[in-house]
Chain A
Amino acid sequence: MPTPLTWQDATITAAVPETPRVRRLTLAVGWPAPFRAGQHVDVRLTAPDGYQAQRSYSIASSPTTPETIDLLIERLDDGEVSGFFADVAEPGDAIELRGPIGGAFVWDPRMGGPLLLVAGGSGVVPLLSMLRHRAEAAPGVPALLLYSARTAEDVIARDELLRRDAEEPGFRLMLALTQGPSGRRIDAGRIAGALAALGMPAHTFVCGGNPFVSAISDLLVEAGLPARTIRTERFGG
């Protein structure tokens, strides 16, 4: 049986802006079990009167360094918890969290590839963990990230992704920026282009907002990918 997930204190060791809307928090944790790329944690905040709020956040960092995790938290309009992480949380603060959680939206090197990753906005976060793990542990696995973001400055981990695209022979980055004069959403043509560049993926992971994931997974099925090879995760849910 799976082991119980207990709440534990994790200390914020770094907090830096990742994009204008996203803050990167690094936390020191003691895991009861190693995590797998794609998994998330639950965090729990407690007010002085005992009121609590919980949310789930995907892990962005690689499982090869499980003693710390990076969370990339996008400030939501009116966000009770994301607002706290954007404006209040600082290095040295202790945050209660538990995990790792989730056993379906995960990739590990034994699963191999080719690996197709499709992200909408901050849905790229669990996919970053997969890409980082792949680069360290299975650089021979072909991988392609098709990433839709509003503008260039909203692209999370942009420098890293561009560097990986330039340096890692098995990795391709395809950005789809939706705003601006040449703005374009991911459509059937983009999917076809990604499949032509990558070949038929053994595993596909799609993460983003609700309408994005619905639209992309339908396009992938229409492009001939077997449904059972496609895993989805949605935020706002």
Chain B
Amino acid sequence: MVTRGFTGRRPPRPEAERLPPGQYLTEDFPVLQLGPTPKIDLARWRFTLREGSKPLKSWSWTEFEALPRTRWKGDIHCVTKWSKFDTAWEGVTIDDLMAAAGIEAPTPYLLAEGYDDYTTNVPVADLAGGKAMVATRYAGAPIPPDHGGPARLLVPHLYFWKSAKWVKGLRFTQKDEAGFWELRGYHMYGDPWREQRFTGD
């Protein structure tokens, strides 16, 4: 349906081609979260891989910082419609995490869990093969708390609610279990290029 009187402001072509449907470019870095930014003490920080409730492997901050590091630069897309180009992150890929733990993924699905009790589901296949990392640096500096520091998941090919802030671990699940937003009507997978914002998209 054409909206009477709306002409719009089209982004220039190179920008438009990098924007998934329904998104607009922002130069800011908006913050979205459910509540206050949690205070996280690095001396007590741990990152834990679990299968169900059973811990498989856990790292302290010092141990985590010693893992192999990877840099990634590219575009991120938030379901609230903003996209940000050329964001630069550094962290530990999920492949390197699994190798350091000496395990194969025990199930095809998992829930990322945050220190704020946030959860979000991601298929393991979307984290492996260099597609995702646990990031600890943004733009060359430690990630600010409002943006999920000290460590956040980074799954840039999915809407950014999948990139859980203040991540404390990954919990492998037998089936694809809905996380916080997925239980509240947001899409189980969340591919921005297919505009999978909500259930049924």
Q: Do A and B truly interact?
A: yes
Cα A1 to Cα B183 with chains together (Å): 8
Tell whether, in the assembled complex, residue B198 and residue A80 are in contact, meaning their CB atoms are under 8 Å apart. no
Instruction: Flag if B36 contacts A217 (CB, 8 Å).
Output: yes
Inter-chain contacts of B35 with A (CB < 8 A): 217, 227-228, 230-232
Checking B81, B116, B200 against A3 with a beta-carbon cut-off of 8 angstroms, the contacting residue is B200
In the complex, what residue of chain A is closest to B182 when comparing beta carbons?
A2
Q: A5-B185, A45-B3, A236-B30 are in contact. Are A53 and B37 (CB under 8 A)?
A: no
8 A Cβ contacts from B124-181 to A: 146, 180-181
Given A56-B81, A218-B37, A236 contacting B28 (CB threshold 8 A): yes
* B contact residues around A210 at 8 Å (CB): 28, 30-31
Choose the segment among A61-69, A101-109, A177-185 that binds chain B (4+ C-beta atoms closer than 8 Å). Answer: A101-109
Size bracket, chain B contacts = 35 or more
- Name B117's closest neighbour in chain A (CB-CB): A228
Interface contact A89-B8, CB-CB below 8 Å: no
Complex Cα–Cα for A234 and B32 (A) = 7
A214 beta carbon closer than 8 Å to chain B: yes
Q: Report how far A95 CA is from B1 CA in the complex, Å.
A: 9
B8 touches A51 (CB 8 A): yes
Report Cα–Cα, A172/B33, bound state, in Å. 27
Of the candidates A3, A93, A104, A236, the one whose C-beta lies within 8 Å of that of B184 is A104
Asked whether any CB of chain B lies closer than 8 Å to the CB of A96, the reply is: yes
Please name all residues of chain B whose beta carbon is closer than 8 Å to the beta carbon of A89 when the two chains form the complex: 5
Cβ of B8 and Cβ of A80 under 8 Å apart? Answer: yes
Q: How far is the CA of A2 from the CA of B36 in the complex (A)?
A: 27
> Which residue of the partner chain A has the closest CB to B3?
A45
A18 to B32, CA, bound (A): 27
Contact with A102, one of B38, B82, B184 (Cβ below 8 angstroms): B184
A interface: dominant SS:
mixed
A89 to B5, CA, bound (A): 8
The 8 A CB mask of A212-228 against B (1 = contact, 0 = none) is 01100110110000011
- Whose C-beta in chain B lies nearest to the C-beta of A93? B4
The residues in A between 64 and 121 inclusive whose CB is less than 8 angstroms from any CB of B are: 80, 84, 88-89, 93-96, 98, 101-104
B residues bordering A, Cβ < 8 Å? 1-10, 21-22, 24, 28, 30-39, 78, 80-82, 116-117, 146, 180-181, 183-185, 198-201
> A46-B3, A214-B37, A231-B35 given. 19 additional CB < 8 A pairs?
A2-B184, A48-B2, A51-B10, A52-B22, A53-B8, A54-B22, A54-B81, A80-B9, A84-B3, A94-B3, A103-B185, A210-B28, A214-B31, A217-B36, A217-B37, A221-B39, A227-B35, A232-B35, A236-B30
In the complex, 7 of the A-B residue pairs with CB atoms within 8 angstroms, ordered by the A residue number, are A46-B3, A84-B3, A84-B6, A104-B184, A227-B36, A234-B30, A236-B28
- Which A residues have a C-beta under 8 Å from some C-beta of B? 1-6, 9, 44-48, 51-56, 80, 84, 88-89, 93-96, 98, 101-104, 210, 213-214, 217-218, 220-221, 227-228, 230-232, 234, 236-237
